[in-house]
Every structure is written in structure tokens, then in C-alpha cells.
Chain A
Amino acid sequence: EVQLVESGGGLVQPGGSLRLSCAASGFTFSSYWMHWVRQAPGKGLVWVSRVNSGGSSTSYADSVKGRFTISRDNAKNTLYLQMNSLRDEDTAVYYCVRHTSSWYGWFDPWGQGTLVTVSS
């Protein structure tokens, strides 16, 4: 069974840092692009970042560029999101998502999400 399990969320003060992890299982992790998508409380889905299968190519939403860093460890089947200079507006549930195998790929499956709360 394909499974994605996020961890690392919690309460952090504005300006602080947090690192999210996503443990993947049930598929060949090193063959897939991966993404982070977030959802603020009561709001819609917003794409945050993407990394290619080898980790050499990344993309970011303008709202997090320069503050967040996506990375992966294919030996550990784990995806990461390092979040620095956190702002109130970064408060959200963060989902780890697999990109399907094609260049034009949809998102499937989704992890259960981890909540990040930025507040003083």
C-alpha cells in the first residue's frame, strides 16, 4: 500500500523555523517527483513546493521562495520541508503529495497532513 506520513508540525513563533518530514512507503520513492501542498484553516489548497526524483531540481510558490527549502533523502525514503522566517500566514496543514509518473502529473496519494501553527 502506498503511504505518506508527515511529521514535524507544531507551534512556532513568528520568525522561527521548523522542519517537516514525510516518510514514504509502498512505492519506489526515488522514481517520483514529490510536492508539499498547504491548507490554511477553513481555506483551500495551495501548492507550496516541488522536488524532482533525484533532488536536483526544485520549484517554489512565490509566497515561500527564499524562506522554505524542499529536499529529499532517497536512501531514507523521506521528503523534507525546511521552513525559516515563519509568518502568521504560514499557519496551515501541510500535506506531502506524490506526483504521478508523467511530466504532466496529478497528485496522488496525499498524506494525512501535519499542522503548523505560527503564533506568538
Chain B
Amino acid sequence: GENVEQHPSTLSVQEGDSAVIKCTYSDSASNYFPWYKQELGKGPQLIIDIRSNVGEKKDQRIAVTLNKTAKHFSLHITETQPEDSAVYFCAASAGTGFQKLVFGTGTRLLVSP
């Protein structure tokens, strides 16, 4: 079945710097790759997603890139702010015809003022 690896497990940056989180997946049939942000005491919230027919997607300060050949995808956050501090999860779809996601182990991002 699908396996998703996520790196790094923790990431500390200064406010204004960029942050990059990387994930790899194993199932070449995966076609949907969402990213979630989890703030303290809350459930994960979808922040951006990308489908396999697209190589890059951007939404203001966040962007996601997908390399299907290498089976990896990345989250890029530019001009980081303290409120970006959270745990970020990547995920990849598993199986066909059904919405099942396999999640990475999470990255704790700390943005220092």
C-alpha cells in the first residue's frame, strides 16, 4: 500500500525566511496530494492541495510542487510569520475510486520573531 515519508520532523526559521517541507510517496497511482496545518488544540486544516495533472500550485505565500517521476512533493512557505508556527502534514491518496489518504508523520514548524 501507499507509504508517505515527510522531512524534516522539526524546522525552525526566522520570521521572513522561507520554509520548505518535503514528502515522498510510494504508490505511482496516487493522484491527489493535500497539505494540512494543525495549530495547537485544533484539528488539521486543509491549506493547499495539488492533483497529479499539475506540477505546481500557489496560493499567496504558500506553494506546492509535485514531481511525479521522482514521486515527491513539497510545501513552500515564503515570508514566514509567527502565526505560521504549527504542525504541517502532507498526504497522498491511496487506492482507486475512493477518497482515502495516507499521511506523513508531520513537521513542526517554529517561526521566531
On whether the two chains bind one another, the answer is no
